[in-house]
Structure 1
Amino acid sequence: MSYVTSGREFSRDERYLTTRITADGRDGFPVEPGRYRLVVSRACPWANRAIIVRRLLGLEEALPMAVAGPVHDERSWTFDLDPGGRDPVLGIERLQEAYFARDPGYDRGITVPAVVDVPTGQVVTNDFPQITLDLSLEWTAHHRPGAPALYPSELRAQIDSVNEAVYRDVNNGVYRAGFAGSQEAYERAYRRLFERLDRLSERLTGSRYLVGDTITEADVRLFTTLVRFDAVYHGHFKCNRHKLSEMPVLWDYARDLFQTPGFGDTIDFDHIKRHYYLVHTDINPTGIVPAGPDARSWLAPHGRAALGGRPFGDGTPPGPVPPGEAVPPGHNPLVREGSSPLMG
């Protein structure tokens, strides 16, 4: 499977299934607890957003989750982590089957996150930017007591502005560098990435969070790229002006979030590294997965609380990770053998 086209810059296929699951069901899919299944891979930064938001809002029971393995082929993500290699609820081996159930002629990306309608086995949506916003705005009847306001109305214009720049230059920017098919395309993406990271560092120097004094959707979206930076993007994608750990403000900011319940406890560094280094064979033909970096550095003190701010606003942290959803020990420094993830 090839991700790089010689002589061309990377262009992401953004033709998503944009059907929405809403409180009023206007697209034919009303919010109903237990009806849908959120399919993710812990390796994927776009899916990681949905995992974090679901956990922060306490939607684990209302929206059950299926976790695909970290490695896929040209056909699809697979449920190789489950007994018999099938999702126990959907009964399928490959996520591709749920896309084809929706549209037998489907010719776009088989992506995660995807929300599947369990009664029909069909994918409803894979529109990852909208999925997390709808979890905040449409699933409110099923939020846990104390759930934070991740997309408050008074801050939405600011959040949207930050998200647009972060997506263009950082979230997708690392891919535009890593999958560049020419030196010029690579250097263009590289410059935009680090110029944006410099601006974000300036913004976060005196502010604990990106918008306002609490965690918002903007922090979730930046975090999922930052947490993969040193493990993958710095070397594998040649985003190597500096490591994250060499950018003091962003490194402290990322560790602050990592140590916040709902963020770091969703991260599986083993899955992240195996996905990128094994799937992108045109970039890493040997298939060697790096042993480092040492993830224990994510637990070092960050000092960001001195900036003030209230992580969950008037709300409260999420409780322990539900049984069966914890990242395996050895894949995350927050998780110890025989225990649930530590609460920071």
Structure 2
Amino acid sequence: MAYTAKGTSFDRDMNYIPDRITREPGLSQDKHDDQELTVRTWPAEPGRYRLVAAAACPWANRAIIVRRLLGLEDVISLGLAGPTHDERSWTFDLDPGGVDPVLGYERLQQAYLARYPDYPRGITVPAVVDVASKEVVTNDFPWITHDLFFEWRDHHRPDAPDLWPDAVRDEMDEVMQRIFTELNNGVYRCGFAGSQEAYDAAYDRLWTTMDWLEERLADRRYLMGDAITEADVRLFTTLARFDAVYHGHFKCNRNKLAEMPVLWAYARDLFQTPGFGETIDFDQIKRHYYVVHRDINPTQIVPKGPDPSVWLTPHGRG
């Protein structure tokens, strides 16, 4: 994920390639970074695209989970980059010869440069790549999972969950916005704070929302009620990394997730739900954060714990 620093506080760069994949392709006018932009929309054609993600990255992990929940494995192929990368790009070092078998690329950067030879921003995952041209289509991660649900409905498995239920849509948008600003992004705000004052403010904001979530989930199984929604996916990928990375590496250490009875049970409930836990690779997650973030962890030593088997213990939220 790309980010910029404003003074001593963390500020994420949210400027992404705004193209989308839709049922009815063409051109549309979208509001992007307070400017009206002409956005190209691409056709939702099975077999045309490759989702490039990384098990280490929480933002990419969302797309991996949603693709599985909706049954799109045979519709959109998946390429996985390794957990570590340099300043240029994520790499396909998990594949034989270090080359993605579909795209023929060693680096995700190649797909970006194939479309934008002077691409000025960070090379991020998830990214959707057009297989025929080998060019990146979009890396706008919130829209990727949104469109997997709304624009690929003709190809969902018959019993796919309703991740964006109409009855709670307005409230869900508010919940997801708070989760993004205060938790998904909040852990980074703590980890990359450039002053004690910035860190203290970020820490307080983070734990205010963690306590709010503990209270909210005390009387409901999932964030929006009795069924899993996109909001749960977005929260889960941060919770899954909390004790292994954010608690120590990002100094989010008031307490561990495992010490919050409701949130910890909720996180294990999701982890043990098909589509969630099998997308989590704790070794890759730890290698990514502790090796790539040399400014925070200059020794690049990767901790051995915590024991991942605790995620399989009974959660009691049936």
TM category, shorter: over 0.9
* Alpha-carbon distance between aligned partners in 2 of 1:183 and 1:33, rounded to the nearest angstrom: 50
Confirm or deny: 8 A CA contact 1:6 1:181 kept in the other structure. no
Deviation at 1:280, TM superposition (A): 0.2
Uncovered stretches (5+) of structure 2, i.e. residues with no partner: 27-39
Match of 2:100? 87
Deviation at 1:28, TM superposition (A): 4.2
Deviation at 1:3, TM superposition (A): 7.8
Matched, 1:40 2:50: no
Confirm or deny: 8 A CA contact 1:77 1:94 kept in the other structure. yes
Match of 2:144? 131
> Residue 272 of structure 1: which of 271, 277, 285 is its match?
285
Match of 1:14? 14
Match of 2:214? 201
Cα RMSD after superposing both structures: 1.4
Distance change (3 Å), C-alpha of 1:134 and 1:4: closer
Q: Which moved more, 1:2-11 or 1:184-193?
A: 2-11
Match of 2:155? 142
* Alpha-carbon distance between aligned partners in 1 of 2:164 and 2:233, rounded to the nearest angstrom: 11
Runs of 4+ with >2 A deviation: 2-7
> Residue 302 of structure 2: which of 289, 310, 314 is its match?
289
Query: Which letter maps to 1:223?
Result: F
Give runs of aligned pairs for residues 172-251 of structure 1, distance below 5 A: 172-251=185-264
TM-score by length of 2: 0.93
Query: Which letter maps to 1:69?
Result: G
Match of 1:262? 275
What per-residue deviation string (whole Å, max 9, x for no partner) do you get for residues 244-278 of structure 1?
00111100000000001111011000100000000
What per-residue deviation string (whole Å, max 9, x for no partner) do you get for residues 262-305 of structure 1?
11011000100000000000100111000000010101111111
Deviation at 1:119, TM superposition (A): 1.0
Deviation at 1:33, TM superposition (A): 0.5
What per-residue deviation string (whole Å, max 9, x for no partner) do you get for residues 280-335 of structure 1?
00100111000000010101111111xxxxxxxxxxxxxxxxxxxxxxxxxxxxxx
* Alpha-carbon distance between aligned partners in 1 of 2:170 and 2:108, rounded to the nearest angstrom: 35
Aligned residues: 304
TM-score by length of 1: 0.87
* Alpha-carbon distance between aligned partners in 2 of 1:183 and 1:275, rounded to the nearest angstrom: 25
Confirm or deny: 8 A CA contact 1:6 1:182 kept in the other structure. no
Match of 2:75? 62
* Alpha-carbon distance between aligned partners in 2 of 1:248 and 1:28, rounded to the nearest angstrom: 44
Higher relative contact order (CA 8 A, sep 6+): 1
The 3-state SS of whatever aligns with 2:93 is coil
* Alpha-carbon distance between aligned partners in 2 of 1:152 and 1:3, rounded to the nearest angstrom: 32
The 3-state SS of whatever aligns with 1:51 is helix
* Alpha-carbon distance between aligned partners in 1 of 2:225 and 2:134, rounded to the nearest angstrom: 40
* Alpha-carbon distance between aligned partners in 1 of 2:110 and 2:24, rounded to the nearest angstrom: 28
Match of 2:173? 160
